[in-house]
Amino acid sequence: MKRRVKNTFSLTALLLILWACNKPVYKYNPDFEGKWRTPVVYDTILNKNVLSEIVIDGADGTHSNTCDPCGADLCNCISSQVGKAVMNTSRTQMKIGSNSYALTIQQEPTVNALGQTTIIVRNQTYYKQ
């Protein structure tokens, strides 16, 4: 009897540990998949126009922060993160890559009054491309 209780406890503890781990973003909400960009804005500190981009492609993702707009591409980004895109269990932070900082999520994908799909990450509104 004691062995069965011990095995049940061990299995429960293992399931709780696995449940508490970060999960791929697309498994929490598949609407995150795709390319997201902020509008081009003038950065008064850098004295130039910049934009940021998040791309979620299945389990993988990229985050390019404060970049020069170069046509359809981005150039000279202040920072870039590449790797697995995971969401914490409370759905408030996303990480892209193993050595990256967390991106705080204020709003999951939503369709606004103009019919545009948006997310708000780190207090910036991103639009689905």
Please state, in angstroms and rounded to a whole number, the distance separating the CA atoms of residues 52 and 69: 9
- Give dist(CA 32, CA 62) in Å, integer: 12
Q: Which domain holds residue 92?
A: 22-128
What single-letter DSSP state applies at residue 13? H
Q: Please check whether residue 64 is in contact with residue 77, taking contact to mean a CB–CB distance below 8 angstroms.
A: yes
Residue 32 pLDDT greater than 60, yes or no: yes
Express each pLDDT in 70-124 by its tens digit.
Answer: 988 999 999 999 999 999 988 899 999 987 789 999 999 999 999 999 999 999 9
Domain count, the chain: 1
pLDDT of residue 20: 47
Q: Does 17 map to a domain?
A: no
- Our measurement of the distance from residue 114's CA atom to the centroid of its chain's CA atoms, rounded to an integer in Å, reads 23
Is the residue at 32 inside a domain? yes
What are 97's strand-pairing partners?
A: none
2: in domain? no
Judged by average pLDDT, the poorest of 14-28, 39-53, 61-75 is: 14-28
Please report the pLDDT score of residue 1 as a whole number.
Answer: 55
Amino acid at 51: L
14 pLDDT above the threshold of 90: no
User: Which CATH number covers residue 58?
Assistant: 2.40.128
